[in-house]
């Protein structure tokens, strides 16, 4: 059996595997797609000490670094079941069953898409999902935020300080964000809010040049010219496969403590699949290190 089995090969999983392997214990990593969300990213400017890098390059660096150690790497494999017996069992979709004394879950998350024409086409060409990452690319420009929940309104407030103008589009008749956020939003001079509207299309030629939406009560279509669209309608953790095996939040995020431990002894979690409040590469790597050290601590006590 493994001492530490990591599920997920993004920044959190890679960091967990390296920290575990450096303790000289038997470490494995299962990754459906090594690199994770980093593979979907073009420019990265907030990975501290590296002024600029690109997703594919960082993902290759993660894998190269893991390969420096004696880690059993199982790529293109998807975990589908976890069960705590004497050891912890993880079943893969191909039917294989892996056994380990500890498991670190690092399966990440995915941004919910609006699924309108132009979204996929202009990804990284004006369509963005992370204001902390891509906000500065739109300095002095006009952008839209789709989504009037807490993350959408936080993004709009954040972006309003950087860009020229922010258009907020909310599908429901009212914003769902906390009232303090709404008050702050409405106090800003460069924000326009449209409620009860449905995004119809993100337009452009080689990059985004506007957004069209339908006013749901009148059926009228409006078009706003702008250069960026931030989609903020939810980040979904990849934790469905765990169902009731351990404690998750209402949103499906795995609940972890300060050591990265979950509600099941010996099972740890790190990165975007957890209830950590901010989802970033550097934060995922930090929590991966925490979970690996937490798992090591657990091993020497049990």
Is 61 annotated to bind a ligand? Reply is: no
Is 16 annotated to bind a ligand? Reply is: yes
* Count of positions on this chain that bind ligand FAD (CB under 6 A): 38
Is 103 annotated to bind a ligand? Reply is: no
The strand pair at 2-7 and 43-44 is best described as: unpaired
What's the token pair of residue 34? 């090594």
Q: What are phi and psi of 142, to 5 degrees?
A: -105, 135
Between 137 and 168, CB nearer to ligand FAD: 137
CB 216, min distance to ligand FAD, A = 29
- Out of 271, 290, 292, 295, name the contact with ligand FAD by CB under 6 A: 271
Is 11 annotated to bind a ligand? Reply is: yes
CB 21, min distance to ligand FAD, A = 17
What's the token pair of residue 220? 């009228």
**Stretch in the footprint of ligand FAD (CB under 6 A) among 21-29, 125-133, 192-200, 251-259:** 125-133
Is 148 annotated to bind a ligand? Reply is: yes
DSSP 8-state code for residue 277: S
Dist CA 79 CA 243 (whole Å): 13
Contact 169, 211 (CB under 8 A): yes
CB 223, min distance to ligand FAD, A = 25
Between 105 and 177, CB nearer to ligand FAD: 105
Q: Does 36 bind ligand FAD (CB under 6 A)?
A: yes
Q: Does 104 bind ligand FAD (CB under 6 A)?
A: no
Between 105 and 197, CB nearer to ligand FAD: 105
CB 248, min distance to ligand FAD, A = 14
| Neighbour tally for 218: CB within 10 Å | 9
Between 73 and 224, CB nearer to ligand FAD: 73
Binding site for ligand FAD (CB under 6 A): 7-13, 30-34, 36-38, 40-41, 44, 46, 78-79, 106-109, 111, 129-130, 133, 238, 241, 271-272, 279-282, 284
Binding residues are: 3-18, 142-156, 262-272
Detail the residues annotated as belonging to a binding site for FAD.
3-18, 262-272
């Amino acid at each position: 059996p493994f001492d530490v089995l990591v599920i997920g090969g993004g920044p959190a999983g890679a960091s967990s595997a390296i920290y575990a392997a450096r303790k000289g214990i038997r470490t494995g990593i299962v990754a459906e797609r090594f690199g994770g969300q980093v593979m979907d990213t073009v420019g990265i400017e907030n990975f501290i000490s590296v002024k600029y890098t690109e997703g594919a390059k960082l993902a290759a660096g993660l894998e190269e670094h893991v390969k420096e150690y004696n880690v059993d790497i199982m790529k293109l494999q998807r975990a589908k079941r976890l069960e705590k017996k004497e050891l912890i069992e993880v079943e893969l979709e191909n039917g294989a069953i892996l056994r380990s004394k500890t498991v670190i879950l690092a399966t990440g998350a995915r941004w919910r898409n609006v699924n309108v024409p132009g979204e996929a086409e202009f990804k990284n060409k004006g369509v963005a999902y992370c204001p902390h990452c891509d906000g500065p690319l739109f300095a002095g420009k006009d952008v839209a935020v789709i989504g009037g929940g807490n993350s959408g309104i936080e993004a709009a407030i954040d972006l309003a300080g950087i860009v020229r103008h922010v258009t907020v589009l909310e599908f429901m008749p009212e914003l769902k964000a906390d009232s303090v956020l709404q008050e702050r939003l409405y106090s800003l001079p460069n924000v326009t809010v449209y409620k009860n509207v449905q995004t119809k299309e993100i337009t452009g030629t080689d990059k985004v040049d506007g957004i069209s939406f339908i006013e749901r009560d009148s059926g009228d279509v409006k078009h706003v010219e702008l250069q960026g669209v931030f989609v903020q309608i939810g980040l979904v953790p990849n934790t469905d496969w765990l169902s009731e095996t351990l404690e998750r939040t209402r949103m499906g995020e795995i609940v972890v403590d300060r050591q990265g431990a979950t509600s099941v002894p010996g099972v740890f979690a790190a990165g975007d699949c957890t209830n950590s409040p901010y989802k970033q590469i550097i934060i995922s790597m930090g929590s991966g290190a925490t979970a690996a050290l937490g798992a090591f601590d657990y091993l020497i006590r049990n």
